[in-house]
Amino acid sequence: MKSGELQARLSLPSESASALREIRLPDTVRDTLQVVDFEGHEMLIMNAVRDEDGEMVATDRLAAAVVTARFRNVAERGGRVNLEFEVTVPRDMQDSRWQLRLYPDMFILGDSLRLNPVVMTGRDYRRAQLRGYEQYRRFLDSIITDSTRFINKAALEIFLERNIPQIYAFRNDTTIVSDEQFASAYGVTEREAVEHYTYLLLKRWNSARAGRKDEMFRRYVKAPIVTEGIRLDTVIAAGNGDFIYNYVQTINTRPGLRKVDVVLSGEVLEQDKKIYAIPRSEPLCFYISSISGLADGSERFLKRIVSRKVEANTACYIEFPQGKATIEPALGNNPEEIRRIKGNIRDLVLNETFDLDSICVEAYASPEGALKSNEVLSAKRASAASEHFARYAAYLRDSLDRDAGVRLALGDADASAVRAPSISFRSRSGGENWKMLDALVAEDDVMSAEEKDSYFKSARVKDPDLREASLSRSKSYRYMRERLYPRLRVVKLNFYLHRKGMVQDTLHTTEPDTLYMRGVQCLKEHDYEEALKILYPYRDFNTAVAFVALDRNASAEEILATLPKSAPGDYLMAIIRSRAGDERSAVEYYLHACAQDRSYIHRGNLDPEISTLIRKYELNPE
């Protein structure tokens, strides 16, 4: 073995039969198909040879099952790939005294992974293993596990019968005798009596024997039988021929995975000694054929209408003294609200995309009091808020203009870009804020259902003054006036802007569909579930690719039926029909794809579902 470097072999199994056998195709299976080409013409595809006259005649053939190639294209299904190879152990490496441990190693994306080993155990080697286990079992049987065997029962019984007859009388029943009862009878405890009549030397000897379990296991069982983490453990009675084991390993695909190499090494053991290291075999190469390679990476765009004029709004709760329209900046929550609105104005003035044209200030009043008085009051409050924020806008403009002037004087040509535009303010009265009061009552979690029904019944009164009078008689009026009415005195600001440099009122633009492209990226990275989740609403070719990758072929076929005919679509249909076992239709779709795009002639050799048809029917011999 050492001189000849005898080794186990890795080989690829036949795709149609077990290794080392020839199988004739059944008479019902012919290598002939009648198909329709891309232009609609019928043609026959068959195997043929030239006779002695030079004529081509159809012929059957034997499917040879011995494979000598060191590589294979394997198809991905649902994000997984099955790597199938044969581990062959020559007859000369089989001996009844030996155990062979064969280690397949997988190399993937720069990493190596040892797969579960294949173990072949000779009959005599296994018998020696079992003899060791039997010797160890006899050693374990010699260890006393019943503690009563250490007690001199006869002497203990005589002691009880002579000295504690009332206790001895219990020997034939199950009555519990407490330690206190035992001690009161003669002055000694049960434990003391038992220890006095225990063979202590035998007990110590047995304890020492039990402590040597691990040592004796190593002495008797020189080659333990391993059951965990092994793909196969078989006992060979006699080496009458080569031993072949068909090994299948499933792996998950990942981005960038194109090839997986598998090599085999091992060792030969006799008893507990390694007598030979099996050299590493030549690698088997598996090229991963992924459906994701068919994905269309063309960028997709969304159409969007851009308006020149833009409107934004916000609301602030500026508190006014009751019945007055003057703004008191220090009243209640006014400092925070006023600071927030000024910040909004400043941000819009400095915005690089929009110019702020005007601000409309609208103030509302709560319903208590006369309608006309409230309308006048809300108008005055709107005017007061408008004047207050207009003064801030003027101050901001002057400040930015001064800053721009200084920068221009220093030679900064871009300083004019930060000059503040002129902003016009408009104010208007919103009147009594009944609409907001309806919403607040509906959402309130303090008022009972009965109180809410009473409110909405009063709210149907058309005259606002009569409506307020009706509410004032309800049980919940005090709560509404104290908790809800202050929230009605709101000031709304509507900001009117336009896009800088834009002249037309509307503009139609396109922008990349980033969500769609993320779905395509997930498809290329083999994250098919996430890809389908994103691409499903689009119902296009990439959606069909995701379905096929997840082996949901019927759903993919439904989508392809709605799309225009194309070479990628026909090729994907060829894969779908091949999986369904419809070879005639699969060949037709494949030939149609090749007629439209010659690159699919070579692509077909990479996909096992198509390459099988190419070899079987000798497609595209050129």
Residues 6+ apart with CB under 8 A from 475: 451, 454
Q: Distance from CA of residue 491 to its chain's centroid? A: 49
More confident residue, 66 or 496: 496
Res 509: pLDDT? 61
* HSE (side-chain half, CA atoms, 13 Å) at 558: 7
Over residues 173-214, the pLDDT tens digits come to 666 666 666 555 555 666 676 777 777 777 788 888 888 888
- Give SS3 for 527: coil
- Listed in order, strand segments (DSSP E) in 157-223 are none
Q: What is the pLDDT of residue 553?
A: 93
| Helix (H) or strand (E) segment spanning residue 427 | strand 424-432
Looking at residue 272, what is its pLDDT? 79
Pick the CATH number of 303-433+489-507 from 3.30.1330, 1.10.287, 2.40.128, 3.40.50: 3.30.1330
pLDDT above 90 covers a percentage of the chain that reads 31
Q: How confident is the model at residue 588 (pLDDT cuts 50, 70, 90)?
A: very high
Average pLDDT over all residues of the chain? 81
How big is the chain by its Cα radius of gyration, in Å? 46
Q: How far apart are the first and last CA of the chain?
A: 47
pTM for the full predicted model: 0.49
Categorize the per-residue pLDDT at 65 as very low, low, confident or very high, splitting at 50, 70 and 90.
Answer: very low
- Asked if pLDDT for residue 23 goes beyond 80, the answer is no
Number of helices (H), then strands (E), belonging to the chain: the values are: 22, 23
Positive or negative, the Cα torsion across 19, 25, 30, 31?
A: positive
Q: Using 50, 70 and 90 to split pLDDT, how confident is the model at 565?
A: very high
Q: At residue 272, what are phi and psi to the nearest 5 degrees?
A: -110, 15
Note the CATH number of domain 513-617. 1.25.40
Q: Residue 253: is its pLDDT beyond 70? A: yes
Domain range summary for the chain, segments of one domain joined by +? 9-120+242-293, 130-220, 303-433+489-507, 513-617
Q: Which residue has the tokens 């232009």?
A: 39
Mean pLDDT value across residues 286-298: 87
pLDDT at 582: 94
Cβ pair 321, 331 in contact under 8 A = yes
pLDDT of amino acid 414: 55
Beta strands at 243-252 and 80-89: parallel, antiparallel or unpaired:
antiparallel
Q: Are 332 and 312 in contact (CB under 8 A)?
A: no
- Highest averaged pLDDT of the listed ranges 53-57, 328-332, 595-599: 595-599
Lowest mean pLDDT among 113-122, 341-350, 547-556: 341-350
DSSP, res 198:
B
pLDDT tens track for 508-542: 567 888 999 999 999 988 888 999 999 999 999 99
Q: How many residues does the chain have?
A: 622
Residue 29 is predicted with a pLDDT of: 42
Provide mean pLDDT across the span 548-554.
91
